[in-house]
Amino acid sequence: MSVGMDDVERISQLAKLRLDAEEKKKMSQDLTEILEYFAQVEEVDTSSVSPMFHPVDTDNVWREDAVSDAEMTSEVLREAPQTSDGFFVVPQTVTGAKEEQDE
Amino acid sequence: MNDLKPGSLSIQKIQQLLRRREVCTDELRGAAVEDVSRRDQDVGSFLTVRGSYEGQSVNNGGTVSKASLNGVPCGIKDNLCTSDLPTTCASQMLSGYRPPYDATAVKLLRRAGAHVVGKTNMDEFAMGSSTENSAFAVTHNPWNSRRVPGGSSGGSAAAVAAGLVSFALGSDTGGSVRQPASFCGVVGMKPTYGSISRYGLVAFASSLDQIGPLARSVDDCARVLDVLVRHDERDSTSVKHPEAGAFASAVSESEPRLNGWRIGVPREFVSEGVDEPVRHVVREAADVFRQLGAQVQQCSLPLINHALSAYYIIACSEASSNLARYDGVRYGLRAESADVQEMFIRSRSRGFGQEVKRRIMLGTFALSAGYYEDYYLKAARLRRMISDQLNGSFEEYDLLLTPTTPTVAFRLQERMDDPLAMYMADVCTIPANLAGIPAISVPGGFHEGLPVGIQLMADRFDDRKLLTAARAFELSTGHHRRRPSHAEEGEMGRCGR
């Protein structure tokens, strides 16, 4: 499995990372080398085996959907880069909606 | 001059000094901080040291129970949340981050009277095997300052080895407690998956992550486990361990024997990929166990050769999902942009270091359409097979004996340009994480002045067995008593004189 520059570009978009030209080249080399090593697993027939996603086969753990630790709101928000009136603030994500309605 | 160095003392010794009123806990706390401030410059094991020791719950007087960690100085890996100290995961992404709460493990330690001296250095987000991936500091191996301490819990291992703290907490996803313990000549244990609550541990690969103690003896490790192993409803993977609270009692015998114990040495772990001096130490350890009364035999676990591949696919896949939360919205670094998508991308690209990006990329690839079945699912199926093979071996053997690492501590910078060579450092420790079984590294000997660890693995929930055998080994060899030259003991207090 060779991971080319196009693959690196595609994966980095999925991962929301931007790599410069040099980083891309290094990433392509590193991922290719790592996946070549991983290719040895192909020799093991796993077709009849169920995948193991977790070491403990426990049932889901449920709890009441109740508010707790509500008094911590300000402490939690303290660490956010930008907040307003108890909300996290992000750059505007919806644009033009009102104008379109008005037309 | 005060020559009290609380961090160089065992838990038992500290309890004894307190009981005889030769020192008081305030004195221990002050001396521990002072000693770290003075001596850690050469080691670089701490990222943050608590300058003032007021304000922590001080549990003076009263009875000193056996489980109590009254006045015992400890280090906490910087991926465990502490409400009074920054928690950075050694990443620019979380530089200066102050969690609103203590991790359950930290809370339990404090409740038992332990003194959290500070936060220890690590590989960024616990990704690495040398602590060189830290965004903030270089940690040196106390046995040889040009060598790495191992990783990712390298700061914790170095702090314990240098006698700065009596014990430290690390996290072990593929060997991150045991591998640095081996490189630094201390004891490091990863208990059965789910034994110690992961609430407040910054997630790397949730199906593999487990908190574990590092200490200078198996006895100290067991005492810390007695405090930490308990069910926590805040962690849905937390288990009710049948042996909770009975770990220290498993190591209390002064001349333990292992008559009738069966120990297997899987030949795949002592193949040519492992340096001869390390194999030599394992052979010697096998002889020690024979002298203790155990039967030691070679066995075979052929699928182990695929554990590294399965591990890195699974760990990176889970990491790519877990680290999606760092988007510059709720905490951590934000790189401004008028566009929200661009803000995500810039924040992540600036906040994460090279190895973290590499693993996110690898994981994203393994989970992406067209590759999911061939990589992630294939790895998960292999995990089942490897786990079944390991578990099956415990029908025949009480324990498995292996090296902890294929080499002694390597040189700083030696492997930084070769990610695959760095991943190989975890080849012996990874299988226990895949299967969720307990494993411990104890000092097994030395090669050219550098410590060599041996690893013992046991069946799930057989943590006591592991401790019993490890304790028998350390008592009969005494390797754990050898310390790096500048980490001498100091137990003279002022209070009682």
Of B239, B339, B377, the CB nearest to A51: B377
Closest chain A residue to the Cα of B347, Cα to Cα: A17
**Cα B23 from chain centroid?**
30
DSSP string of B28-82, one letter each residue: HHHHHHHHHHHHHHHH--EEEE-S--TTS----SS---TT--TT-EEEEETTB--
ipTM for the assembly: 0.91
Band the pLDDT of B485: cuts 50, 70, 90: confident
Structure tokens at B493: 């207090």
**Cα B169 from chain centroid?**
6
| Subunit contact A78:B379, Cβ cutoff 8 A | no
Instruction: Indicate whether A57 belongs to any domain.
Output: no
Helix (H, G, I), strand (E, B) or coil at B187: strand
| Enzyme catalytic residues of B | 77, 152, 176
| Subunit contact A88:B329, Cβ cutoff 8 A | yes
Instruction: Indicate whether A65 belongs to any domain.
Output: no
B131 and B180 Cβ atoms separated by less than 8 Å: yes
CA of A102 vs chain B CAs: smallest distance (Å)? 24
Q: Choose between A72 and B276: higher pLDDT.
A: B276
Instruction: Indicate whether A68 belongs to any domain.
Output: no
Express each pLDDT in B136-173 by its tens digit: 999 999 999 999 999 999 999 999 999 999 999 999 99
| Subunit contact A79:B100, Cβ cutoff 8 A | yes
| Subunit contact A40:B306, Cβ cutoff 8 A | yes
Q: What is the pLDDT of residue B64?
A: 46
Residue A58 has pLDDT above 80, yes or no: no
Where residue A86 falls (left for φ over 0; alpha for ψ -120 to 50; beta otherwise) is left
| Subunit contact A81:B328, Cβ cutoff 8 A | yes
Mean pLDDT of B64-82: 86
Residue B362 at interface with chain A, using a CB cutoff of 8 Å: yes
Alpha helices (H) in B408-458, listed in sequence order? 419-423, 430-435
Name the one residue in this structure whose structure tokens are 């959907």.
A65
Alpha helices (H) in B258-377, listed in sequence order? 276-291, 307-322, 340-351, 354-367
Closest chain A residue to the Cα of B94, Cα to Cα: A79
Nearest alpha carbon to residue B121 among B173, B70, B84, B176: B176
Residue B421 at interface with chain A, using a CB cutoff of 8 Å: no
Mean pLDDT of B126-131: 97
Domain count, chain A: 1
Q: What is the pairing mode between strands B262-266 and B399-403?
A: parallel
Nearest alpha carbon to residue B294 among B399, B174, B149: B399
Q: The CATH number of the domain where A34 resides is what? A: 1.10.20
Show Cβ contacts of residue B254 under 8 Å, excluding neighbours closer than 6 positions. B475
Residue B2 has pLDDT above 70, yes or no: no
Residues 15-44 (A) with a CB less than 8 A from some CB of B: 15-19, 23, 27, 30-31, 33-34, 37-38, 40-41, 44
Instruction: Indicate whether A19 belongs to any domain.
Output: yes
Report how many Cβ contacts below 8 Å link chain A to chain B.
Answer: 150
Provide the residue type at A93 as one letter.
Answer: T
Band the pLDDT of B324: cuts 50, 70, 90: very high
CA distance A21 to B68: 55
Q: What are phi and psi of B142, to 5 degrees?
A: -60, -20
B434 and B307 Cβ atoms separated by less than 8 Å: yes
CA distance B483 to B142: 9
CA distance B103 to B472: 32
Q: What is the pLDDT of residue B53?
A: 46
Domain region containing A20: 5-43
List chain B residues with CB under 8 Å of A55: 193-194, 207-208, 387, 434-436
Closest chain B residue to the Cα of A47, Cα to Cα: B381
Beta-bridge partner residues of B116: B74
Q: What are phi and psi of B333, to 5 degrees?
A: -70, 135
Q: Choose between B130 and B62: higher pLDDT.
A: B130
Where residue B91 falls (left for φ over 0; alpha for ψ -120 to 50; beta otherwise) is beta
Question: Using the 8-state DSSP alphabet, how is residue B374 labeled?
Answer: I
Band the pLDDT of A12: cuts 50, 70, 90: very high
| Subunit contact A60:B236, Cβ cutoff 8 A | yes
CA distance B36 to B159: 9
Residue A94 at interface with chain B, using a CB cutoff of 8 Å: no
Of B239, B346, B354, the CB nearest to A56: B239
B437 and B192 Cβ atoms separated by less than 8 Å: yes
Instruction: Indicate whether A69 belongs to any domain.
Output: no
Residue B58 has pLDDT above 80, yes or no: no
The residue count for chain A: 103
**Could you give the percent of chain A with pLDDT greater than 70?**
91
The sign of the dihedral angle between the CA atoms of B134, B136, B140, B145 is: positive
**Please, what is the Cα angle at B371 between B365 and B376, to 5 degrees?**
80
CA distance A89 to A70: 20
Residue A81 has pLDDT above 90, yes or no: yes
Nearest alpha carbon to residue B232 among B198, B191, B201: B198
Of A3, A37, A91, the CB nearest to B337: A91
**Domains along chain B with CATH numbers:** 6-258+440-481 (3.90.1300.10)
CA of A19 vs chain B CAs: smallest distance (Å)? 7
Residue B327 at interface with chain A, using a CB cutoff of 8 Å: yes
Instruction: Indicate whether A63 belongs to any domain.
Output: no
Q: What is the pLDDT of residue A63?
A: 84
Where residue B191 falls (left for φ over 0; alpha for ψ -120 to 50; beta otherwise) is beta
Of A18, A27, A54, the CB nearest to B345: A18
Express each pLDDT in B230-247 by its tens digit: 999 999 999 999 999 999
CA distance B219 to B187: 10
Closest chain A residue to the Cα of B194, Cα to Cα: A56
| Subunit contact A54:B233, Cβ cutoff 8 A | no
Cα B445 to Cα A96, B144, B338, B449: the distances in Å are 70, 16, 59, 9
Please classify residue A77 by burial: count the beta carbons closer than 10 Å to its beta carbon, then call 0-12 exposed, 13-18 middle and 19+ buried: middle
B326 and B319 Cβ atoms separated by less than 8 Å: no
Cβ count within 10 A of residue B458: 25
Instruction: Indicate whether A39 belongs to any domain.
Output: yes
Q: Choose between B62 and B450: higher pLDDT.
A: B450
Provide the residue type at B179 as one letter.
Answer: Q
Band the pLDDT of B56: cuts 50, 70, 90: very low
Provide the residue type at B57 as one letter.
Answer: S
Helix (H, G, I), strand (E, B) or coil at B3: coil
Of B309, B387, B420, the CB nearest to A41: B309
Q: Choose between B289 and A63: higher pLDDT.
A: B289
Q: To the nearest whole number, what is the mean pLDDT of chain B?
A: 93
Band the pLDDT of B63: cuts 50, 70, 90: very low
Beta-bridge partner residues of B400: B264, B457
Residue A5 at interface with chain B, using a CB cutoff of 8 Å: no
Q: How many helices (H) and strands (E) does chain B have?
A: 14, 11
List chain B residues with CB under 8 Å of A91: 337-340, 343
Instruction: Indicate whether A38 belongs to any domain.
Output: yes
CA distance B281 to B441: 13
Nearest alpha carbon to residue B428 among B408, B404, B407, B451: B404
End-to-end CA distance of chain A: 53
